[in-house]
Chains A and B, each alone.
Chain A
Amino acid sequence: MSRQRTPSTTRRALLGGALAGLLPPSLAAAPMTRRIPSSGEALPVLGLGSWITFNVGNDTAAREACVEVVRAFFAAGGRVIDSSPMYGSSQPTIGHALAQLGHPAALFSAEKVWVGDGARGVLQIEASRAHWGVPRFDLMQVHNLLAWQQHLPRLFEMKAAGRLRYVGITTSEGRRHAEIEQVMRTQPIDFVQISYNLLDREVEQRILPLAQERGIAVIVNRPFREGALLQQLSRHRLPGWAADIDCQVWAQVALKFVITHPAVTCVIPATSQVVHLRQNMAAALGRMPDAALRQRMAREVAAL
């Protein structure tokens, strides 16, 4: 069985010392990146989600723990942080972390607009921007396609005016794929965000090929099915082939499966623990599965 090194990607010259201890010295290379088709800008394939994990409210200790997660994320070469107004206090938590870390220049901020009234979208985006403490967002996505017909024209105007860099749409857990396809075919979006993991692979049929065809970057959410997949897999030993692709934990298996699909630009696992963050980030390093092994991974995990 063949194994391929990091697939056709660019590489950033960043490597956090935090990752060095997780892999043999021979694997200490820069994390894998992918280019955004509409601009050619390279992004590390491992991003950071914030659903649930960063919604810590007024809990000072938990908020400081999130600062350490974000610190470790940037130290490991991460850039993309994704959030939404729907995620409770996640936005202020991210803003606090960014302020504590001196607003790292590497940040690629990915936000969402989530309001049924298109006229209120700009106000919501401004409120989100204030929470993050950033001059502008890199990517603004219409959350779960809510009122996308109203929001997208405004987002394109903001992009044209330099108030955004990229525009996208999102869905999760396989919902509204027909509508996602329609938007991908008819609107000049830069990004699409969808759910994809070892068990939920419907997007392989149409969405991912369409993204490649239309030159749309793909962000993958729920790579662990909100933890349920890892909980299920934790009852089983890692297969022998996991070592062949430099995986030490199931999370890395799940992430390497996702990031090696050629249409995927970035995956955004969420965590509130630095140790898990480092394990996740290490999935962007080392040997990667080829197409044949990817099929085997999906097949064997589905059978567990």
Chain B
Amino acid sequence: MSEWWSYRPTDFLMFSPRIYWRLFESINAAVWPAQLLLVGAALAWLLWILRRGAEAAPRASAVALALCWLFVAWAFLLQRYSPINWAADPFAIAFALQGLGLVALVGCGPLQVSAQPWRRAIGLGLLLWALLGHPLLAGLAGRSWTQAEAFGLAPDPTAIGTLGWLLLLQGRRAGARWLLRALWLVPLAWCAITAATLATMGEWQALVPLAAALLALAAARRR
């Protein structure tokens, strides 16, 4: 790209905010009321593992999370986002790889809930935000509730919730611990990308994925 220094972020924004937010309206309408079932199931899982403590952390949650990433890759990024943003295809590939990585985690031995209070607290907070808080942003920003971003359907709450999940859980074997560390990469990268996109669109909501990523990183580094 010649004279690259003369380009601004807005030069790369090829769609209008109105059309972007309508993508969520489209996917919500397509799967309704599955988002309610998804939130209910995730909350039930959270309650269950918190009551069982560090002893149990079913690997099935990795499979469920993987399905969310694969669904977002296909139904949101490829089917809806890609027609208005030619950069969406690589994002979809990254989301699909994240999904496959989560599936691979199942074969890496048992998982357990982290014993570190900070990780547990922040992880739980991020998961609850992704499930219950993030969908409220549409209404708070003055958009229609039909454009709410739901966990498992929209990339932002899926990435934020996954950061929470990664904080909550630990692997017992070296392979699982290595893979869990690798699985931070895509959600963190997505938080940066979506924050940049939203900021370019002039949306204050850009702060949310940015704050979530920084919070997750801070909690992960705290001993």
State the A residues within 8 Å of B (CB).
51-53, 55-59, 62, 86-89, 145, 173-176, 226, 272
Contact = CB atoms under 8 A, between A and B. Distances in A.
Interface stretch (B40-48, B81-89, B183-191): B81-89
B15 A175 contact: no
Interface in B52-88: 79-81, 83-86
Contacts, number: 53
Interface of B is mostly: helix
Contacts of B79: 58
B7 to A, nearest CB: 8
A57 B86 contact: no
B2 A56 contact: no
A7 to B, nearest CB: 33
A18 B15 CA distance: 28
Interface stretch (B19-27, B123-131, B155-163): B19-27
Contact of A88 (B2, B6, B83): B83
A57 B22 CA distance: 10
Given A56-B19, A59-B19, A88-B15, A176 B2 contact: yes
B14 A57 contact: no
Contacts of A86: 14, 86
A175 B81 CA distance: 29
Interface of B: 2-3, 6, 10-11, 13-16, 18-19, 22-23, 26, 79-81, 83-86
18 contacts: A51-B14, A55-B14, A57-B15, A57-B19, A57-B84, A58-B79, A59-B23, A86-B14, A86-B86, A88-B14, A88-B83, A88-B85, A145-B2, A173-B6, A175-B2, A175-B3, A176-B2, A226-B10
Given A52-B16, A57-B19, A59-B22, A173 B80 contact: no
Given A175-B2, A175-B3, A88 B16 contact: no
Nearest to A177: B3
A174 to B, nearest CB: 8
Contacts of B15: 52, 55, 57, 88
B83 A89 contact: yes
B164 to A, nearest CB: 30
Contacts of B23: 57, 59
A142 B2 CA distance: 15
A272 B16 CA distance: 10
Nearest to B20: A57
Contacts of A53: 16
Contact of A55 (B2, B80, B84): B84
Contacts of B6: 173-175
A148 to B, nearest CB: 11
Given A87-B14, A175-B3, A226-B10, A58 B80 contact: yes
Residue of B11, B16, B19 with most partner-chain A CB within 10 A: B19
Closest 10 CB pairs of A and B: A57-B83, A57-B84, A89-B83, A88-B84, A175-B3, A55-B15, A55-B84, A88-B14, A56-B19, A59-B22
Contacts of A174: 6
A88 B85 CA distance: 6
Most buried by B among A51, A57, A89, A174: A57
A250 B80 CA distance: 35
Nearest to B11: A173
A176 B3 contact: yes
B130 to A, nearest CB: 25
A86 B15 CA distance: 11
B19 A55 contact: yes
Contact of A58 (B2, B26, B86): B26
